[in-house]
């Protein structure tokens, strides 16, 4: 899975939520949302792409202006 873009939001109490835009050969572009672990951006992106919940496609397109 190829990570194309990501965006992170600070939540109350110092938590961070990320949305990741990914692409693969079978499913095309997909969006995932999940908590950021906070190690670094690349680690957080991979973790969210592998463990996050699906984010609605239309909301993802609007968020990333794609």
pLDDT for 51: 96
CA distances for 25 relative to 8, 22, 33, 54, angstroms: 25, 11, 20, 17
pTM of the model: 0.90
Signed CA dihedral, 53, 54, 60, 66: sign only:
positive
Break the chain into its structural domains and give their ranges. 2-64
The helix/strand/coil state of 65 is coil
Spatial strand order of the sheet with 28-35 comes to 2-10, 16-24, 28-35, 53-55
Query: Would you say domain 2-64 falls under CATH 1.20.120?
Result: no
pLDDT tens series, the chain, 66 aa = 899 999 999 877 878 999 999 999 999 999 999 999 877 899 999 999 999 999 999 999 999 986
- Yes or no: say if 24 and 49 are a contact pair by the CB < 8 Å rule: no
């Amino acid at each position: 899975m190829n990570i194309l873009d990501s965006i992170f939001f600070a939540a109350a109490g110092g938590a961070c939520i990320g949305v990741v835009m990914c692409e693969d050969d079978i499913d095309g572009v997909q969006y995932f949302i999940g908590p950021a672990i906070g190690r670094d951006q690349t680690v957080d992106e991979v973790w969210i792409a592998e463990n996050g919940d699906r984010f609605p496609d239309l909301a993802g397109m609007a968020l990333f202006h794609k």
